């Protein structure tokens, strides 16, 4: 009997040790908000060239359709050029680190976008802001807190609360973001204005795996305050192409 009790005691000690080791292992620990955001950002390609269709839908129901081509390299370099229709053809946008420029072919002039108010303004009449389209890193720009987990359209998601690290440089007061727990891509983001009121909701969808990375092929941005929305659908994409730094200059921006 004593042997049995001793064996049971030894088994209990072993089980407690296993539980303690499991609880302290990285896999058992819940990821922090910042770690989740970092894993999401790891889905971004090092570079990308894409052709997309942008549809702007006004509250009245009227629509405007634009075709755009974009070159992106890392977090700091973005060049966007409008291909059609004729009224916007040749219009370009350049973002290099914290500097942004807009080229309007009718004026044959490159204009620097300097203030936070300008960067928070509409990008070419769409529901995306210049800040949304320009480069930047979620990890570098925001502190993320894990608010919990929940189901969203059948997906198990992390729910993150994001606060800007430098509020004076960001036009949003906070963001709320749903991140797929399995693949670490966002499926919904709520944007709040400086008064703390909900401003916009972004719905990424149609995910496709390319070179081991999850690429978002459709993004819908709804402005809940204006009742408008903008849909971007990617028609062509090159993942991790070679793009020279010389592509991201004001000289290149002026080319049509």
Residues 40 and 81 in one domain: yes
Is residue 99 within 8 A of residue 112, CB to CB? The reply is yes
142 lies in the same domain as 248:
yes
Domain that holds residue 13: 1-30
The answer to whether residues 22 and 148 belong to one domain is no
Do 212 and 225 lie in one domain? The reply is: yes
Q: What is the rounded CA–CA span in Å between residue 144 and residue 130?
A: 22
How many other C-beta atoms can be found within 10 angstroms of the C-beta atom of residue 204?
A: 20
Where residue 77 sits, what CATH number does that domain have?
2.50.20.10
Q: Cα angle vertex 170, ends 169, 172, to 5°? A: 155
Distance CA 113, CA 132 (A): 14
Please check whether residues 124 and 197 belong to one and the same domain: yes
Contact 96, 76 (CB under 8 A): yes
Tokens linked to 160: 């993150």
In terms of domains, do 37 and 111 share one? Answer: yes
Quick one: 9 and 127 in the same domain? no
Helix (H) or strand (E) holding 133: helix 130-133
CA atoms of 201 and 176, how far apart (whole Å): 9
Task: Collect the ranges in the chain with pLDDT lower than 70.
Answer: 1-29, 256
- What pLDDT is recorded for position 29? 67
Residue 82, judged by CB atoms within 10 A of its CB (0-12, 13-18, 19+), counts as: buried
127 and 244 inside one domain: yes
Residue 126 DSSP symbol: S
**129 and 53 belong to one structural domain:** yes
119 and 171 both lie in a single domain: yes
Q: Are residues 16 and 93 located together in one domain of the fold?
A: no
> What's the structural domain count of the chain?
2
Statement to judge: residues 16 and 100 lie in one domain = no
Q: Give the global pTM.
A: 0.86
């Amino acid at each position: 009997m004593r042997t049995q009790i001793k064996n049971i005691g030894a088994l209990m000690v072993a089980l407690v040790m296993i539980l303690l080791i499991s609880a302290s292992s990285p896999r058992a620990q819940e990821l922090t908000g910042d770690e989740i955001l970092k894993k999401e950002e790891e889905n971004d390609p090092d570079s990308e060239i894409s052709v997309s269709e942008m549809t702007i839908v006004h509250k009245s129901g009227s629509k405007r359709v634009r075709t755009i081509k974009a070159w992106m390299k890392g977090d700091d370099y973005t060049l966007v050029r409008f291909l059609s229709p004729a009224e916007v053809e040749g219009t370009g946008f350049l973002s290099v680190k914290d500097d942004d420029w807009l080229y309007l072919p009718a004026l044959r002039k490159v204009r620097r976008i300097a203030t936070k108010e300008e960067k928070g303004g509409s990008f070419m009449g769409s529901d995306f802001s210049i800040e949304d389209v320009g480069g930047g890193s979620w990890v570098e720009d925001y502190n993320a807190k894990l608010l919990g987990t929940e189901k969203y359209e059948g997906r198990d998601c992390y729910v993150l609360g994001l606060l800007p690290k430098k509020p004076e440089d960001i036009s949003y007061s906070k963001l709320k973001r749903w991140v797929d727990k399995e693949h670490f891509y966002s499926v919904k983001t709520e944007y709040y204005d400086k008064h703390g009121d909900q401003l916009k909701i972004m719905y990424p969808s149609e995910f496709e795996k390319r070179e081991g990375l999850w690429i978002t092929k459709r993004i819908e941005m709804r402005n809940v305050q204006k009742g408008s929305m903008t849909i971007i659908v990617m028609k062509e994409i090159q993942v991790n192409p070679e793009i020279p730094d010389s592509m991201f200059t004001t000289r290149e921006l002026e080319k049509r």
